[in-house]
Amino acid sequence: TVLQCAKVLKAKTPQFLWHVFVKRKQSDYFEDIKENLGDKTVVCQVDYAENFTLDTQNQIQAAHWAKRQVSVFTAYTWMGGSGGDGHSFGLVSNSTTHDKYTVITCLELLIDEIVDRMPDVGEIIFFSDGAASQFKNRYLLQHLTTMMDKTDLDLSWNYFASSHGKGIVDGIGGTLKRLVWMEILAGKRCASAQDFVDICKKKSK
């Protein structure tokens, strides 16, 4: 009945209002910290793009049932001080597993790249969605402490509110996959993560 619907809506309203409050506060903090970066601070947003299916423009019928995929880990950094403009990153792998092990591997590569581009970096502030299998788990947070000891960097992690983790990294993943897909349509062969990377390097110069 209408009365029952009204009661259910009333019961859910506090939870919804709390969600909106958290989302707005996190969004305000994210924008504020990007605009007021310290000289040795980097803000980094990370996420996994949807896996890319390796296809061929002119393929035999049987190939339709044996398609492989590659995973694309995306990141964007806002750098203060000597870091200059922001930088986009795309780490491509033949492994399509999105778990704590692959995330930690990607983060170690990403941190090394950040340090190379900004040697005087002292702090990296990460932002991501709250996917439990990828980012929001105790294994990742424990490994952050290990990386802090190894790199002498201050590392912290922030999670966006549920269903509000979209951002510039989604555009990076979409752009990379579109570049490769357009080349495939033109007859280019892309059968592995290395082929994917080679095409992206050629088309994004």
pLDDT tens sequence across 6-16: 989 889 999 88
On whether residue 15 sits in a domain, the answer given is no
- From CA 72, how far away is CA 176, in angstroms rounded? 9
Amino acid of residue 89: F
Q: What DSSP state is assigned to residue 82? A: G
Confidence tier at 166 by pLDDT (50, 70, 90): confident
On whether residue 59 sits in a domain, the answer given is yes
Q: What is the H or E stretch that residue 41 is in?
A: strand 41-53
Sign for the pseudo-dihedral over CA of 180, 181, 184, 185 = negative
On whether residue 17 sits in a domain, the answer given is no
> What is the pTM (predicted TM-score) of this model?
0.84
* CB-CB contact of 93 with 102 (8 Å): yes
SS3 content of the chain, % helix, strand, coil (to 5): 50, 20, 30
Summarize pLDDT for 40-76 with one digit per residue, the tens: 899 999 999 999 988 776 665 655 566 889 999 999 9
CATH number assigned to the domain comprising residue 161? 3.30.420.10
Residue 73's pLDDT is 95
Where in the sequence is the domain holding 51, given as residue range(s)? 37-203
Output the six-digit token pair for 40.
Answer: 């040795």
Summarize pLDDT for 72-103 with one digit per residue, the tens: 999 999 988 766 778 899 999 999 988 889 99
On whether residue 5 sits in a domain, the answer given is no
Confidence tier at 167 by pLDDT (50, 70, 90): confident
Q: What is the H or E stretch that residue 172 is in?
A: helix 168-185
On whether residue 4 sits in a domain, the answer given is no
* CB-CB contact of 135 with 128 (8 Å): yes
Q: At what angle do helices 138-151 and 100-117 cross, to 10 degrees?
A: 30
Min mean pLDDT across 22-26, 111-115, 174-178 is at: 22-26
On whether residue 141 sits in a domain, the answer given is yes
Would you say residue 196 has pLDDT above 90?
yes
Would you say residue 116 has pLDDT above 70?
yes
If one counts the domains in the chain, the total is 1
On whether residue 8 sits in a domain, the answer given is no
On whether residue 167 sits in a domain, the answer given is yes
Residue 39's pLDDT is 86
Residue 86's pLDDT is 84
Confidence tier at 175 by pLDDT (50, 70, 90): very high
Summarize pLDDT for 119-152 with one digit per residue, the tens: 889 999 999 988 888 888 899 989 999 999 888 8
Would you say residue 165 has pLDDT above 70?
no
Question: Quick one: average pLDDT of 172-187?
Answer: 90
